[in-house]
Amino acid sequence: MVSTMSVTDLAAAVQRGERVVDVRERHEFISGHIPGAEHIPMAIVPLRVNDFSRTKPVWLVCETGNRSWQVADYLTRHGFSALTVNGGTSAWRASGMPVTQGVSV
């Protein structure tokens, strides 16, 4: 079962340094993402499944929560602890939280 969390919960997780993965497409990620989020597009997640920890949760975000829910469902069915954020990056922005543009090098 997928756990859907709030933007407030995500903000606390970011403060704790927990892993946040943005599953949107590259152009979406570049246009604005949660500071510190790692970019792994939804279609790539199955190829990178071994990059996820089975002992630490991963927070998944997309634009509205639909794609991140699908990825969380996939990871959960494969034994990972995955959380999705209700409303995604749109809700993050709407709540006044900061976003970062571009990609880290």
Q: 3-state secondary structure string, the chain? A: CCEEECHHHHHHHHHHCCEEEECCCHHHHHHCECCCCEECCHHHHHHHHHHCCCCCCEEEECCCCHHHHHHHHHHHHCCCCEEEECCHHHHHHHCCCCCECCCCC
> What does the pLDDT look like over 85-103, one tens digit per residue?
999 999 999 999 999 998 7
- Domain borders along the chain are 3-94
Amino acid at 69: W
Sole residue written with tokens 């995604």: 88
80 Ramachandran zone, left/alpha/beta (phi>0; psi -120 to 50): beta
> What does the pLDDT look like over 22-77, one tens digit per residue?
999 999 999 999 999 999 999 999 999 999 999 999 999 999 999 999 999 999 99
Q: What is the CATH number of domain 3-94?
A: 3.40.250.10
Question: In this structure, are residues 36 and 15 in contact, taking their beta carbons and an 8 Å threshold?
Answer: no
State the pLDDT at residue 102: 86
* CA atoms within 13 A of residue 87's CA, in its CB half-sphere: 12
Distance CA 83, CA 50 (A): 17
